[in-house]
Amino acid sequence: MLANVQKKQLFVASCLALLVTSLSFGIRAGILGRLGVQFELNTQQLGTIAATAFWGFPLAIVIGGMVVDAIGMKKLLVAAFVFHLIGIVLTIFATGYWSLFISTLLIGIANGTVEAACNPLVATIYSDNKTTKLNHFHLWFPGGIVIGTLLVFFLDKVGIGWQVQVGLMVIPTVIYGYLFSKLDFPVTERVASGVSSAEMYKSLLNPLFLLFIILMFGTAITELFTGQWIDVLLKNVTDNAILLLTLETGVMVIGRAFAGPVVHKFSPLGVLLISSILAAAGLYLLGHTSGNMLFAGAILFGMGVCYFWPTMLGFVSENLPKTGAVGMNLMGAAGMFAVSVYMIFMGGYYDKLIDSHMENGLEEAKKAAGPEIINVTLIIPIVLIVAFATLFLFMKSKKSAPAA
């Protein structure tokens, strides 16, 4: 029975598991450039390695979403622990492109498995307050990136290598693995409510769900591509590019912590519309300014992308509950898959931009190419503004229409 489940302990363990996921993003963002130098990798190869985590994620989250109702959330999370541990160890002992590729893929699979189990777990144990609690859960994603980037920054200052930085992820990994092994789990909300598998899969064809899958492409790329590549794109524009990511994600942590009153005041669609406007404004500043204005851009951008991921999941879970765990996990998979494709494409495009500016020297070429990539990405939240504004007005008119 749900009443007997240790809700708080399950939530804490879920947050620790997501912390490992986000630490992998934050630390990888901080050491990506050094991996390229040490292993003589070009930007496209680095883009492929970084994207590999985003391939493993949708692979795991789709498969996990399909089997979580049958095998239970606990077994999925034990599998996530194993994949995390192996991936971290292999990263520490990487010797080149392929070892980094495989280890990053395993970590991506672990990250996707965590979300495949923890998103429906949080929605189940807090079924009366899904969007707010999913925001509270997902604050540990930017929270871990803040911790990860600060670890990279300060450990670099004292000369501690990237292998040790990656190895620190073992600590929360072992803790969450131990906690989940000791706790009891409820069945998923879909199973508890008696919705059949046939009903669940049929509900995935709902036009609103299909629209949100497409919108998830844009929200995920806006947030995750920019965050993962900000150090590479702007390191020749500012000496503190990695701190831009720290600042952006710090804003996200604060925003998600106060998600409850924000979501209740503006509604999920209102939040998504405002978020798109702020994200576009932040990207504009990041792509068109330098110096201290970059930090203003990072703050605006952090405010914008803060609510994207959990509010997208919360909207689907609240408005399309029959989609169940598969629906939530397909949303996550769609977002990560879109990021992986975009990241590979932009890695190659970045190299081409550098070549086109080489008459000014390599450093100046990189200085010009980074903001150009950001300006191309700016198109995405502009499209999202139009989409969410249209959807917001449509849903509002539908609610206010008199009953027939």
Q: What is the distance between the alpha carbons of residues 31 and 233, in angstroms, rounded to a whole number?
A: 14
Tens digit of each residue's pLDDT (9 = 90 or more) over 125-183: 888 888 888 889 988 988 888 888 788 888 888 888 889 999 999 999 999 999 999 98
Tens digit of each residue's pLDDT (9 = 90 or more) over 379-395: 999 999 999 999 999 88
In the prediction, which pLDDT does 79 show? 94
- What's 200's domain CATH number? 1.20.1250.20
Q: Is the model's pLDDT at 36 over the cut of 90? A: no
In the prediction, which pLDDT does 400 show? 64
Residue 99: both structure tokens together: 């070892």
Tens digit of each residue's pLDDT (9 = 90 or more) over 225-243: 887 777 777 876 777 777 8
80, 78, 109: which is closest to 180 by C-alpha?
Answer: 78
Q: Which residue has the higher pLDDT, 278 or 201?
A: 278
Does residue 2 lie within any of the structural domains? no
When pLDDT is cut at 50, 70 and 90, the band that residue 1 belongs to is very low
Domains: count for the chain: 1
**What's CA 356's distance to the chain center, in Å?**
32
Q: What is the distance between the alpha carbons of residues 231 and 114, in angstroms, rounded to a whole number?
A: 26
Does residue 404 lie within any of the structural domains? no
What is the extent of the structural domain holding 292? 7-396
Does residue 401 lie within any of the structural domains? no
Q: Which residue has the higher pLDDT, 247 or 188?
A: 247
**Of the spans 26-30, 174-178, 261-265, 312-316, which averages the highest pLDDT?**
174-178
Does residue 403 lie within any of the structural domains? no
**Of the spans 10-19, 45-54, 119-128, 244-253, which averages the highest pLDDT?**
10-19
Q: Do 350 and 177 form a contact (C-beta atoms < 8 A)?
A: no
